[in-house]
Amino acid sequence: MCLAIPGKILSIEEDAVNGATARVEVLGTVKRANVTLLESPRVGEYVLIHAGFAIERVDTESAEETLAMIEEL
């Protein structure tokens, strides 16, 4: 089973080798994620992170609800 987790984009940097990467906050931890699979990613939006890639945008309400459920576990 594969799991994607929501994270909030804090910043985006262009990289000639890896494409666009973002600093993404997930449950208080900041990680790097490749955002080249998304069209026009923006700082402040939530994305689903899987295996180091942002694979889909998610709305704020859904992302925060999912993160709250994960924290309860």
Task: Please write down the HEC assignment for all residues of 5-34.
Answer: EEEEEEEEEEECCCEEEEEEEECCEEEEEE
For the chain, what are the domain ranges? 5-72
- Residue 23 has what pLDDT? 97
pTM of the model: 0.90
CATH, domain 5-72, list 3.30.750.24, 2.30.30.140, 2.60.120.10, 1.10.287.130? 2.30.30.140
In the three-class reduction of DSSP (H, G, I as helix; E, B as strand; rest coil), residue 64 is classed as: helix
Residue 21 and residue 57 in contact, taking contact as beta carbons nearer than 8 Å: no
- Asked whether the predicted pLDDT for residue 52 surpasses 90, the reply is yes
Calculate ∠ Cα 19-34-56, nearest 5°: 120
Reported as a single tens digit per residue, the pLDDT across 24-35 is 999 999 999 999
- Asked whether the predicted pLDDT for residue 1 surpasses 70, the reply is no
For the ranges 1-10, 19-28, 60-69, which has the lowest average pLDDT?
1-10
Rounded mean pLDDT of the chain? 93
